[in-house]
Amino acid sequence: MAARDHTSVLTGRVAVIHRLLLDAVSACTDEDLAWIPGPPSPPIAFHLWHCGRWADRWAEALSGNQQRWHREDLTTKWGFPAEQGKGDTGMSLPDEQVALLPFPGRDQMATYLRGAFSDLEHALAELDDESILRETDDLLGAVAPLADSLTRQLSHASRHLGMIEALRGLRGGRGTATV
């Protein structure tokens, strides 16, 4: 398979996971998004926001355009604290601080996610045969082939989708996985 084919497959898979995450936020009520079954489980809103933040960071890294989170000053608009974990993504943020994040309701969350996911998908569509294979900053402090870093990002988002579906199941909702 040619490198361009790999890029197309990766871009398509990212779009699928983004659609599933958007479907999940649409299926939730504001109460579902905020519900915490108990420590140390973060709410569905955290998982969605975290996936959006990483998509936003990758969109900036690939396109050079400022992250939507910063362009729209969502830290201020949503009333978030200055400290939001590594890369302002919630990564490494203590559970107690995650529980205090003032996530918005479903509609605002969905609007942010649609924008961040769209930005990343557009940036991915611009990749060519050489760029997907180049060594680059993996946004975690190491250098790796871009394809490896983006595949890890896809896997990471899929794990969060699984957590969202488990939490929705605990609330009586259904997920996208069937047996």
Taking the C-alpha atoms of 31, 33, 36 and 41 in order, what is their torsion angle to the nearest 10 degrees?
170
Domains of the chain: 3-170 (1.20.120.450)
58 confidence band (pLDDT: 50, 70, 90): very high
More confident residue, 178 or 92: 92
Note the pLDDT of residue 3.
46
What percent of the chain stands above pLDDT 70?
96
Q: How far is CA 113 from CA 26, 58, 71, 107, 128, in A?
A: 11, 13, 14, 10, 25
Note the pLDDT of residue 72.
98
Q: What is the mean pLDDT of residues 55-65?
A: 97
Q: Which tens digit of pLDDT belongs to each residue from 96-115?
A: 999 999 999 999 999 999 99
Note the pLDDT of residue 128.
83
Partner residues linked to 143 by β-bridges = 137
Q: What is the mean pLDDT of residues 127-150?
A: 90
- CA–CA separation, 175 and 132 (whole Å): 32
Q: Which tens digit of pLDDT belongs to each residue from 119-134?
A: 999 999 999 878 888 9
Q: What is the mean pLDDT of residues 149-156?
A: 95
Q: Which tens digit of pLDDT belongs to each residue from 159-169?
A: 999 999 999 99
178 confidence band (pLDDT: 50, 70, 90): low
Residues 175, 169: contact at Cβ < 8 Å? Answer: yes
